[in-house]
Structure 1
Amino acid sequence: MKLFISVFLLISSSFVFAGSVTGTVSRIIVRDDGLHYVYINGEILNRAECAKDYKYWMIKDENSTYGKSQYSLLLAAKASGKAVYIEGAGTCMRWGDGEDIKYVSFN
């Protein structure tokens, strides 16, 4: 029984919480060092621990195909005023306190 409990605790402690949000794009920022991030008007659910004090979402790799696609989709959402859904990756790899975007879709 102790072994079962130990294994359960080990596995459950390795789960990463990822945030999500549904809402309209309020701001998109692109800095001169290439950092791309976005603010969404909406309630953030289950925010990753590394980003719990901040409301912006990071495009993890703005030079990749998926990063360019995410940026394009977010620009289109901002221009149209339509809501988007963002699912976070549960990590803050691109910036230490901004959750990386895993998934973006129009609602």
Structure 2
Amino acid sequence: MDISWNDFEKIDMRVGTVIDVTPFPKAQKPSYQLTIDFGALGLKRSSAQITTLYTTDELIGKQVIAVVNFPIKQIANFFSECLVLGVYTDTSDVVLLQPQQKVINGSKIG
């Protein structure tokens, strides 16, 4: 299904830096709870199924790309405020999308 340019412009994708990571044992699949700094947009939290390829320590300080204008989604007892983007591998693991160079938190993807 094709989308229009206007549809694409509705998606607000931004760069943010992960500042806190905690395991999320109540999630159905192994996940982390991330707190991400989006600069002027503030802090947003997200649940991410990325435990196979990333440790909590290596995620701290990592810049990620996320959709920041989805409605809040409740996952168990957690409220996810953004969707961190990644690529599925052939084993269904997720490789995070990241800028090649450090950029200002909150920078818009387009």
For normalisation by structure 1, the TM-score amounts to 0.45
Q: Which of structures 1 and 2 has the bigger CA Rg?
A: 1
- TM-score norm. by structure 2 comes to 0.44
Select the structure that is richer in helix: 1
